[in-house]
Amino acid sequence: MTAHDPTTITIPTLATERLILRGWKPADIDPYAAMNADPEMMRHEGGTFGQAATFRLVAELIGLWPLRGCGMWALELRETGEFIGRAGLYEGWDWPGIEAAWTVRRDQWGRGLATEAAAAAIEWGWENLAADHLVSVITPENVASRRVAEKLGFRMTGRGDVGPWKDQALYRLDRPTAG
Which residues within the stretch 2-61 sit at the binding site for ligand COA (CB under 6 A)?
Answer: 41, 44-45
Contact call for residues 67 and 119 (beta carbons, < 8 A): no
* Part in contact with ligand COA (CB under 6 A); list of ranges 22-30, 58-66, 71-79, 141-149: 141-149
Nearer to ligand COA, 41 or 129 (CB): 41
Nearer to ligand COA, 5 or 17 (CB): 17
What does the angle CA 124 – CA 126 – CA 128 come to, to the nearest 5 degrees?
65
User: Binding to ligand COA by residue 148, rule CB under 6 A?
Assistant: yes
Tell me, by CB under 6 A, how many residues bind ligand COA: 20
Q: At what angle do helices 113-128 and 143-151 cross, to 10 degrees?
A: 50
Mark residues 111-140: x for contact with ligand COA by CB under 6 A, - for none.
xxxxx----------------------x--
Nearer to ligand COA, 16 or 142 (CB): 142
Nearer to ligand COA, 2 or 38 (CB): 38
How many other β-carbons are positioned within 10 Å of the β-carbon of residue 47?
A: 9
Which residues within the stretch 74-103 sit at the binding site for ligand COA (CB under 6 A)?
Answer: 102-103
Min dist. Cβ of residue 81 to ligand COA (A): 18
Q: Which residues pair with 168 in a beta bridge?
A: 160
Question: Considering only CA atoms, which of 102, 76, 104, 105 is closest in space to residue 89?
Answer: 102
The DSSP output letter for 15 is E
Question: Considering only CA atoms, which of 1, 14, 154 is closest in space to residue 71?
Answer: 14
Cα–Cα distances (Å) from 120 to 4, 19, 20, 87, 130, in that order, read 20, 10, 10, 9, 17
Footprint of ligand COA on this chain (CB under 6 A)?
A: 41, 44-45, 102-104, 109-115, 138, 142-145, 147-148
